Amino acid sequence: MEDFHQNTETILKSNPEQTFIGIWFHDDNITDEQKNQMEIYLHQTFYYYRIFDNMEQFSSYMYKTQHVAKIFLIISISNLSLYPLVNLVQEYSIIEKAYTFLPIRTVKPLEIDTNNIDVLFEKISNNIKHFSKKTNINMEMNTKSQSLNISRINQVSTSSNKFMSKSNRITPIRHLAEESMEFLSFLTMVKILLDISYDNNDIEDMWRVYRILYMENSIELKNIKDLSKSYNSENAINYYTKSSCFFKIINQACRTENVQHICEFRVYISDLDKQLSARSIEQEKNGIKSSITKVYRGKVLSSSILQQLIDNEHGLISMNGFLSTTALSEIADIYSSIEGKIDEGYIRVRFILIIDTIEQPYAYIGDCSAVPAESEILFSLGTIWRIESIKPGEKFYEIELTSYNNLNSYLDTLLKNYKKKEYDLSLVGDILRELGNYEEAEWFYQKMFKQDDLSDESRVYLYYNMAMMRKELGCNSGAIQYFQEAARRLQSSITKSNGIRSSREIYICDKESILIAVYNNIGLVHEKNIGFNEAIKCYNQAIEIENGSKLEVAIVYNNLGLIYCRYGNYQQAWNYLTKAVELADETDSCWGELKQNLTYVENITNS
């Protein structure tokens, strides 16, 4: 597993902000495989893209009034009768470039740019480069010399351009209509990370990462050296409001939505979150929060980000990272560069945020800010808003947001599910594994392995999960190796458990049932490799374990019965499958499958 610190040249890389979007319109002649391939390319190429397979919806979208971003349009339709309308759309002024792409050659006389997706996106990439040069896109806003800490928003340092992992891209605003559960899982992992206590090694790790990221910036290296010596967790908010590495890196880390990055900086993020939470509770009691009903935020947004907001009007969003706002509209206007010059493809925006009830921590921080004149109100990670309206104005777009709390109950439920376990880094790995993010999950497991005080029980648990990941990825030899290491290290003093666990394989939900799960799942791997004798041996070892629940033993008997069924020994198969059904409870989710297997063998023996 590649170590985080060896990847510092890529973890802080972000794509230049785009001032265009991608649109693909296709008909029913596109296969599912072609759709999937196209979506991968679109996701890799465009910050924001739309896909249409309905002419009416496509036409409605193209002729809407609020288009702010240029469009790279891909047409994939074989119906010649639709092309007059398509040609009309291509002449629309908002279209920067249009392409005709048909992966299946048509026999009719139709002009096609290409039927090869690689060639298509090579053309698009070259056109995007030309477009970027033509519009003189520049990440650095022309507002560096503005007063009131403008650099904290608009200035991009030599390092913050790098905050990008191989698999992530910067996401400043998360739209939640279709991504809520994924986002809530991310927030759950962040909250778990922030609840895990840290020690001096974690603090030193954070400073080490900062030094690596700013290795070529001598000024920032000196600032980091000074700050590491004088750092005080009670001053976390003050550090955040300065034009420092903290503000730049922390928000960039949050915008990647990569929990590895959050983990590396969790010492400071935890300190900031705790101080903000304490102030939030205090201001709830003294009445300050009741007077904060409307706040402002000024920004210069790329047209692609603004277009996404327009297209999702009345939807839900969360601005990734801690959200800085002000009680004064004139301060927000400075941040939107109201009097300054901005680059082509960028648009001034004033957010108006209406606060009703917000369960997430937020507080007025002007009295502890490095820039008190900004009258800043800071919101914690994961605050959710509804887009009420987006209106173009003479000087800027005005976007009204209202606070939204309905997703908090889902977040609380997720956290309660994991409260049964001790909060540590392996728990974050477990969630990532459940989401299918195996590489990130292993990163957290490996980080746990490096802890000097890791108990033997926890080490066994990690080996087991590493084995299950290898098995799920089809790496059977690696799975067996980790399973065997787990079994070798397992203590014999594991207590008995009669709890019901519903699973078709044996997954462990605590560390008590691990040994029966280890032997059962080694058997499954051998069985998949046609090693039936080895599988039977492992299943028998699993049955001999005394701490397994009735359901877990039933699953092992079921697996033994199925092996003997494949051997044609139906009497032995019936014996084991009968024991499985007798041990399982009818209320268990897999009882029907166990019963079905027994009935199948009974039908064979009685025929």
Higher pLDDT, 143 or 190: 190
Helix and strand numbers (H, E) in the chain are 25, 15
Mean of the pLDDT values across residues 433-447? 87
Does this chain's domain 20-135 share its CATH topology with 422-606? no
Mean of the pLDDT values across residues 302-324? 90
DSSP letter at 56 equals H
DSSP bridge pairs for 429: none
Kind of pairing between the strands at 49-52 and 316-319: unpaired
Is the CB of residue 185 less than 8 Å from the CB of residue 415?
no
Greatest CA separation for the chain: 89
Given a cut of 50, whether residue 34 has pLDDT beyond it is: yes
| Mean pLDDT score of the chain | 79
Give pLDDT tens digits for 98-112: 898 887 655 444 456
| pLDDT band at residue 174 using 50, 70 and 90 as cut-offs | low
Kind of pairing between the strands at 70-76 and 20-26: parallel
CATH fold of the domain at 20-135: Rossmann fold (3.40.50)
Number of Cβ within 10 Å of residue 516's Cβ equals 26
What pLDDT was estimated at residue 136? 55
Is the CB of residue 387 less than 8 Å from the CB of residue 315?
yes
Given a cut of 70, whether residue 260 has pLDDT beyond it is: yes
Given a cut of 50, whether residue 452 has pLDDT beyond it is: yes
User: In which element (H, E) is residue 377 found?
Assistant: strand 376-379
| pLDDT band at residue 348 using 50, 70 and 90 as cut-offs | very high
Is the CB of residue 224 less than 8 Å from the CB of residue 211?
yes
Give the angle 240-245-247 at the CA atoms, nearest 5°.
35
Residue 581 in tokens: 């059904």
Minimum mean pLDDT among 352-366, 494-508, 582-596: which range? 494-508
- d(Cα 320, Cα 380) in Å, to the nearest integer? 10
We find that the CATH architecture of domain 422-606 is Alpha Horseshoe (1.25)
Given a cut of 60, whether residue 149 has pLDDT beyond it is: no
Full strand arrangement of the beta sheet holding 95-100: 49-52, 20-26, 70-76, 95-100
Given a cut of 70, whether residue 167 has pLDDT beyond it is: no
- d(Cα 360, Cα 506) in Å, to the nearest integer? 37
| pLDDT band at residue 597 using 50, 70 and 90 as cut-offs | confident
What pLDDT was estimated at residue 419? 61
Mean of the pLDDT values across residues 62-88? 81
Q: Compute the Cα dihedral for 168, 174, 178, 183 and give only its sign.
A: positive
- d(Cα 49, Cα 42) in Å, to the nearest integer? 7
Highest mean pLDDT range out of 204-218, 283-297, 469-483, 532-546?
A: 283-297
Q: What is the dihedral of CA 86, 90, 96, 97, to 10 degrees?
A: 60
Given a cut of 60, whether residue 232 has pLDDT beyond it is: yes
Residue 130 in tokens: 């030309």
Concatenated DSSP letters of 151-169: HHHH---TTTTEE--TT--
Higher pLDDT, 63 or 272: 272
Give pLDDT tens digits for 455-486: 777 888 888 888 888 878 878 777 788 777 77
Type of residue at 16 = P
Backbone angles phi, psi at 529, to 5 degrees: -90, 15
Nearest to residue 250, comparing CAs of 267, 233, 229, 232? 267
Concatenated DSSP letters of 529-592: TT-HHHHHHHHHHHHT-SS--HHHHHHHHHHHHHHHHHHT-HHHHHHHHHHHHHHS-TTSTTHH
Q: At what angle do helices 456-472 and 514-528 cross, to 10 degrees?
A: 30
Q: What are the residue boundaries of the structural domains of the chain, listed by start?
A: 20-135, 151-169+177-284, 287-406, 422-606
What pLDDT was estimated at residue 421? 62
Give pLDDT tens digits for 331-346: 999 999 988 888 888 9
Given a cut of 70, whether residue 372 has pLDDT beyond it is: yes
Tell the burial category of 552 from Cβ atoms under 10 Å away from its Cβ (0-12, 13-18, 19+): buried
What pLDDT was estimated at residue 461? 81
DSSP bridge pairs for 72: 22, 97
What pLDDT was estimated at residue 529? 65
Nearest to residue 337, comparing CAs of 66, 100, 151, 191? 151
| pLDDT band at residue 369 using 50, 70 and 90 as cut-offs | very high
| pLDDT band at residue 364 using 50, 70 and 90 as cut-offs | very high
SS3 171: coil
Backbone angles phi, psi at 376, to 5 degrees: -80, 140
Kind of pairing between the strands at 362-364 and 316-319: unpaired
Concatenated DSSP letters of 111-125: --SBS-HHHHHHHHH
Give the angle 58-64-69 at the CA atoms, nearest 5°.
90
Given a cut of 50, whether residue 377 has pLDDT beyond it is: yes
What pLDDT was estimated at residue 22? 95
| pLDDT band at residue 436 using 50, 70 and 90 as cut-offs | confident
- d(Cα 10, Cα 60) in Å, to the nearest integer? 40
Rg of the chain over Cα atoms, rounded to whole angstroms, equals 29
Higher pLDDT, 605 or 94: 94
Given a cut of 60, whether residue 512 has pLDDT beyond it is: no
Higher pLDDT, 36 or 245: 36
- d(Cα 386, Cα 354) in Å, to the nearest integer? 10
Is the CB of residue 142 less than 8 Å from the CB of residue 341?
yes
What pLDDT was estimated at residue 5? 37
438 contacts: CB under 8 Å, gap ≥ 6: 432, 469, 472, 473
Q: What is the CATH class of 287-406? A: alpha beta
Mean of the pLDDT values across residues 135-142? 44
- d(Cα 17, Cα 302) in Å, to the nearest integer? 6
DSSP letter at 384 equals -
- d(Cα 251, Cα 261) in Å, to the nearest integer? 11
DSSP letter at 74 equals E
Chain centroid offset of residue 322 CA: 16
Backbone angles phi, psi at 317, to 5 degrees: -140, 160
Given a cut of 90, whether residue 569 has pLDDT beyond it is: no
Is the CB of residue 462 less than 8 Å from the CB of residue 489?
no
Percent of the chain with pLDDT over 90: 29
Mean of the pLDDT values across residues 545-567? 82
Q: Please count the residues of the chain.
A: 607
| pLDDT band at residue 374 using 50, 70 and 90 as cut-offs | very high
Is the CB of residue 492 less than 8 Å from the CB of residue 457?
no
